[in-house]
Amino acid sequence: MPAGYVLLAAPPVRAAVRADLADALGPWLLAPTFALPAAAEPIATGRGGAHRVTLPGGVRAVVRPYRRGGLVARLVHETYLGIRPRPLRELAVTVEARRRGVATAEVLAARVEGRLAYRGVLVTAEVPDAAPLLDALRALARGEARRALAARAGAAVAGLHDAGVAHADLNLNNILVQRTAEGVVPVFVDFDRARLAPSPLGTAGRRRNLRRLARSLAKLDPSGTVAGADEARAFHAAYETARRACGS
């Protein structure tokens, strides 16, 4: 367990929980049958199933059940196989990414039901006043404002890579733009299957991640009406400037 978390168990259920929330969340997470809190609000995501909830004590959070993707999802929706449950690994990777200075949604808890074959749930703190990157770009007028936000995103992705984090699903929905008193801050979410390197990512790893992001943009904005050539140039210029500043 990362520092600050405890592992609770009521076989066949295990839950890693932020230590100060263990008493409040333990009975809910260890219940034999997992159920969303009352008044849970569905959130549109790629695979569906995520909900915005209010936890005991008034904590606003996002609950994301693990769901299969790709061809296998036609046969199996929520069951995974393995001795290293993905929810517990995602918690550990996210905690380490935050320790390295990456802006991420804090993981509050991870639940695993079963052993070799298991189902999982991840609970993260809600990122307030935030929207996916594409929506944030769309809300701005074309021109300098969009280019500035694209540049912010480029610098943030460079920081992610400089921290040695290879995001397995870097796309425009997994980069949130949070509005704060100091301005806009890109925040990364969904570190399932992310990998951590002991040093900044190499050229090949960076290119793979950037190509994935480019495919996401081509899929979500095929005509380039939201993020076109000007925004792409601003993104890549800021990325390279931040990378050189890190010396990587």
Give me the pLDDT at residue 247, please.
Answer: 75
Distances from the Cα of 81 to the Cα of 69, 75, 84, 92, angstroms = 14, 14, 9, 19
Average pLDDT, integer, range 206-222? 96
Q: What angle do CA 135, 176, 68 make, to 5 degrees?
A: 95
Rounded distance, CA 86 to CA 99, Å?
20
Q: Which pTM does this prediction carry?
A: 0.92
- pLDDT value at residue 58: 86
- Measured distance CA(209)–CA(83) in Å, rounded: 27
Q: Which of 35-44, 46-55, 198-207, 228-237 has the lowest mean pLDDT?
A: 46-55
Confidence class of residue 39 from pLDDT cuts 50, 70 and 90? confident
What pLDDT does 185 receive?
A: 95
Question: Confidence band (pLDDT; 50, 70, 90) for 38?
Answer: confident
Answer whether 66's CB lies under 8 Å from 90's CB: no
HSE-CB for 154 with a 13 A CA cutoff: 23
List of E strands, the chain:
5-10, 13-18, 41-42, 51-54, 60-65, 80-81, 107-114, 117-125, 130-132, 165-166, 175-180, 183-188, 195-196
**Among 10-14, 16-20, 26-30, 71-75, whose mean pLDDT is lowest?**
71-75
Dump pLDDT digits (tens) for 51-100.
Answer: 999 998 888 999 999 987 655 545 557 889 988 999 999 999 999 999 99
Asked whether residue 15 carries a pLDDT value surpassing 80, the answer given is yes
Strand partners, 165: 196
CA dist 210 and 172 (Å) reads 11
- pLDDT, tens only, 87-141: 999 999 999 999 999 999 999 999 999 999 999 999 999 999 999 999 999 999 9
> What is the average per-residue pLDDT within 170-196?
94
pLDDT of residue 73: 45
pLDDT at residue 78, as a whole number: 82
CB-based contact 26:6 (threshold 8 Å): no
Name the CA radius of gyration of the chain, rounded: 19
pLDDT of residue 107: 97
If pLDDT is split at 50, 70 and 90, which confidence band does 230 have?
Answer: very high
